[in-house]
Amino acid sequence: MKALVFHGPGSRSWQQVPDPRIVDPTDAIVRVDAVTICGTDLHILKGDVPAVEPGRILGHEAVGTVVTTGSAVTTVKEGDRVLVSCITACGRCRYCRESAYGQCRGGGGWILGHRIDGTQAEYVRVPFADTSTHLIPAGVDSEAALMLADILPTSYEVGVINGRVRPGDTVVVVGAGPIGLAAIMTAQLYTPSHLIAVDLAPSRLEAAKQFGADLVVAAGDDPLESVAEVTGGLGADLAIEAVGVPETFELCTRLIRPGGRLANVGVHGAPATLHLEDLWIRNVTITTGLVDTFSTPTLLGMVAAGRLDPARFITHRYTLGEMEAAYKTFAHPQQTAALKVVLSRP
């Protein structure tokens, strides 16, 4: 089959590789019908994720069709259309038993396109298929479902649920890239009164409005002032960090009211300063987290019921064979305005 292979920092190719086969009785082989690219894939290609070794097939998001299953697999079978989640769950360890699949201690967690071969390929082996794939309900478009492989559950679980959004809240989302926009989309499931987006790029703020922000704070504006204005000077109930640099995290700590929450979704590479001399007395709650994908079945149901339209994230479409072109588009969002690209089996 063909697959996107990582050859070390800066180097990748869409090339011929051996087909995957069943290794463990809990495995399934899935034919990839649609796949997408994640910001993390770009980090891997830069060499930022040393655990990824040369020769690895990248990708951790896919919609596909089950081709074969191991002898222990009971909930999916040949021909089923499934979502392959970014998180693999052994379903047996302490963390999986508490639905914290992202922290799986039994061989799962984020492994696809990381520690084992991934989904940017014609076929993929999915370990622990019973607990790591999701049947796609009839009537749910494959492309829409694909958005539930990573980006939507990430922002929903780590931003919105960890941040405990409640009806009537004022929520600020700092960073309006795909992850921030997904936080804006899913925060609305709890009907906040105000949903404020902060970013430097005018195009992203325009997207934030279209995804449901009722107020945007542009470069040059003071986010503290904007938030103070709609909250009577008090501060936001929740700030969602969706950038991943110290400055935006520290901004979030200043944007929230006494008793407020800060939900970090951004991937950080450096420490931040935590101003405990101010914060110790302010009753704040700060959370971090990797996605667990426990919400994926719920989100699939909401797409089926017409309550969520994740296909709005898709700005570009390719065939699987156009992998190189898709990467180029996705790697330059300033030029291409790409949010998510989808590559489909022709």
Site string for a copy of itself, 53-92 (x = CB under 8 A): -----------------xxx-xx--------------xxx
By CB under 8 A, residue 305 contacts a copy of itself? yes
Q: How far is the CB of 13 from a copy of itself (least distance, A)?
A: 29
By CB under 8 A, residue 177 contacts a copy of itself? no
By CB under 8 A, residue 275 contacts a copy of itself? yes
Complex with a copy of itself: residue 27 or 143, whichever CB lies closer: 27
Q: List b or e across 10-28, with b for residues whose CB sees 16 or more CB atoms inside 10 angstroms.
A: eebebeebeebebeeebbb
Tell me the H-state helices in 47-140. Answer: 94-97, 129-132
Complex with a copy of itself: residue 11 or 273, whichever CB lies closer: 273
Total site size for a copy of itself, rule CB under 8 A? 73
- Classify burial at 312, counting beta carbons within 10 Å of its beta carbon; exposed 0-12, middle 13-18, buried 19 or more: middle
Find out whether 213 and 185 touch, Cβ atoms under 8 Å: no
Give the separation between CA 323 and CA 326, rounded to whole angstroms: 5
Complex with a copy of itself: residue 21 or 275, whichever CB lies closer: 275
Find out whether 82 and 30 touch, Cβ atoms under 8 Å: yes
What part of residues 194-213 is at the interface with a copy of itself (CB under 8 A)? 194
Which residue in 11, 13, 273, 319 binds a copy of itself (CB under 8 A)?
A: 273
Strands annotated E in 78-205: 81-84, 123-126, 133-135, 170-174, 194-198
What part of residues 207-266 is at the interface with a copy of itself (CB under 8 A)? 214, 244, 246, 249, 258-259, 264, 266
By CB under 8 A, residue 298 contacts a copy of itself? yes
What part of residues 20-49 is at the interface with a copy of itself (CB under 8 A)? 24-26
By CB under 8 A, residue 108 contacts a copy of itself? no
What's the distance, Cα to Cα, between the start and end of the chain in Å?
14
Give the separation between CA 176 and CA 183, rounded to whole angstroms: 9
By CB under 8 A, residue 51 contacts a copy of itself? no
